[in-house]
Structure 1
Amino acid sequence: MNSRSEPAPTGPDAPARPPLVRELLLVAGLFLVYKFGRQLATGHTTEAFRNARHVWDWERVLRLPDEGTVQSLLLHGDALVHGANTYYAAVHFPATLAFLVWLYLRRPAHYVWARRVLAAVTGAALLLHLLFPLAPPRMLGGTGLIDTARVFGPSVYGPPRTDSLSNQFAAMPSLHFGWALMLAIGLIVATRSRWRWLWLLHPLATLLVIVGTANHYWLDVIVATALLGLALALLRPPHRHAPGPRSAPPRRRPEIRRRSTAARPEPVGAGR
């Protein structure tokens, strides 16, 4: 292997890979709990729009950039905005799944760490969705933003009143960004390639997409980053066992010749 990646640890010191069936059941269970929890947060339409107004006003007080600035960049061409909508709809779950599968196969210890971090961030996000329902900026009138997915396609959401598959009032925090940032951090920590920092382009692209398509506010991203930072502070990554310097072969100790006076013949006539 060259410097771009290193082989998976092998031998007796390699970390044990968790049982596959157990991991599949665990990840599926976490996903179902999250989906069920998001459904519990539906129906708070009035509160969600009231919170959206508060978030919009807070961003203006904090002098955060206007989401419309990013959206105007996407609206320069149909292909660009359609690509952003596709990225939002098609990359989130497959990229996270591929990230976990790769870690499971090549870096078992890092897989366990990443799975715990993602579970902690997702659980905290679910709690915030229940306590602070929030309508996304694409639903908020008077902002000048449009629902790019509905206008240009493709869209993963139906009308909020009839959408039984997702909770559209769960904008804060943005798990799209939180998971994307964890993917980049996880791959940077688990690999040694000189190009591994390019993985940060994924959360950067995700940031521009979720804001430009009016699915999230800047504060959604800030809160997601804070939750991820807290989870990373509490759940530390495993240490990489770097090979130590090659030790010199042991020096052979010179054989000590034992002098035995009894073995030496005494010359005839000595001492006379």
Structure 2
Amino acid sequence: MRELVIEVVLIASMMVIYQGIRHLADGQMGVAFRHADWIWEVERALRLPSEAMIQHWALSWGATARLANLYYVGVHFPGTIAAMVWLWVRHRPDYLRMRTEMAVLTGAALFVHVIFPLAPPRLVSGFGMVDTMISTGPSAYPDSSTAGVANQFAAMPSLHVGWALLVAIAVIRVTSSRWRWLALAHPALTVSVVVITANHYWLDGIVAAILLMGAIHLVSLRAKYAAGLPGQPLPSFSRVLL
């Protein structure tokens, strides 16, 4: 019970810190839109598919916008929490590992959010993309671009993509069934959804994946160091706290 209380306090603290730090990027709308133009140009230089083209094709199917919005709003937090609860109950050491990796990833993402505010494509009229959250709903954001918990100018990196990929990796690590690879459908769908809803650019997801790989590596190194020998299990609960 004590461990559960500590975990709840840790996660709640992360949310409070996120809420506080996000305000550091408030008032940087001009910079966020300039960064958006730069990201768009870089993606075209890299010959990545146009998000606008993908969105227009997807929205030609009548129910796509609402389904994408529902997935964006309804799966991100509930899906992550469900995975963490399952790991807590069935695979405690792997829960601790995932939680620590998530904390490192989120911390790194917040740092990027502050130093590189970025307007999502749905807010940039020049990109020709539809804001499906306004046109169809439901929306994850309030009417004001600076209200609420989420920072709408923190598109880079995409924590939707980063957390979805972490959930899939955590499931694959702890299960042996050949069906475990189906967990990769979650990050694949998330990438599709964040583009269709015009909430993120391709590079937002790519950077999130890179940061996640770094977080996994750092946590692995710390676990090996704390355990004393390479290849040992993760240390006890008290030794994996950040």
Task: Give the corresponding residue for 2:40.
Answer: 56
Partner AA of 1:37 in structure 2: I
Specify whether residues 82 and 140 from structure 1 end up closer, same or farther in structure 2 by C-alpha distance, changes over 3 A only.
Answer: same
Query: What stretches of structure 2 of length at least 5 have no aligned partner?
Result: 225-230, 234-242
Deviation at 1:160, TM superposition (A): 3.5
Alignment of 1:195-234 (within 5 A): 195-234=179-218
Query: 1:166: Cα distance to partner?
Result: 2.4
Quote the residue 1:76 is aligned against. Answer: 60
SS of aligned partner of 1:157: coil
Give 2:167's aligned amino acid: L
Tell me, what secondary structure is at the counterpart of 2:127?
Answer: coil
CA distance in 2, matches of 1:174, 1:94: 17
Q: Measure, in 2, the Cα distance between the counterparts of 1:73 and 1:109.
A: 43
Match of 1:269 in 2: none
Q: 2: CA distance between counterparts of 1:207 and 1:114?
A: 20
Q: Which deviations, in whole Å up to 9, do the C-alpha atoms of 1:6-55 show, x marking residues without a partner?
A: xxxxxxxxxxx971111111111112111221122222111111111111
Say which structure is richer in helix: 2
What percent identity do the matched residue pairs reach?
48
Matches within 5 A, 1:1-272: 19-161=3-145, 163-236=147-220
Contact 1:160–1:168 (Cα < 8 Å) also in 2 = no
Q: Is the 8 A contact 1:41 1:129 kept in 2?
A: yes
AA aligned to 1:173 is P
Give the number of equivalent residue pairs: 225
Q: How large is the RMSD of aligned CA atoms in angstroms?
A: 1.8
Deviations 1:177-217 (A, max 9, x none): 00000000000001111100000000000000001111000
d(CA) in 2 for partners of 1:173, 1:41: 14
* Gaps in structure 1 of 5+ consecutive residues: 1-16, 242-272
Cα distance change, pair 145–36 in 1 and its aligned pair in 2 (3 A): same
In the alignment, is the contact (CA less than 8 A) between 1:70 and 1:208 conserved in 2? no
Distance 1:142 1:201 in 2: 32
- Aligned partner of 2:237 in structure 1 is none
By how many angstroms is 1:134 displaced? 0.3
Q: Deviations over 1:226-265 (max 9, x none)?
A: 0001111222289799xxxxxxxxxxxxxxxxxxxxxxxx
Runs of 4+ with deviation above 4 angstroms: 237-241
Q: Which amino acid aligns with 2:24?
A: L
| TM-score normalised by length of structure 1 | 0.79
Contact 1:138 1:214 in 2 (8 A): yes
Moved more, 209-218 or 70-79: 70-79
User: How far apart, CA to CA, are the structure 2 residues paired with 1:234 and 1:162?
Assistant: 33
Q: Evaluate the alpha carbon distance shift between residue 212 and residue 161 of structure 1 in structure 2; reply closer, same or farther with a 3 A threshold.
A: closer
What is the TM-score when the length of structure 2 is the normalising length? 0.88
| 8 Å Cα contact 1:78-1:152 kept in structure 2 | no
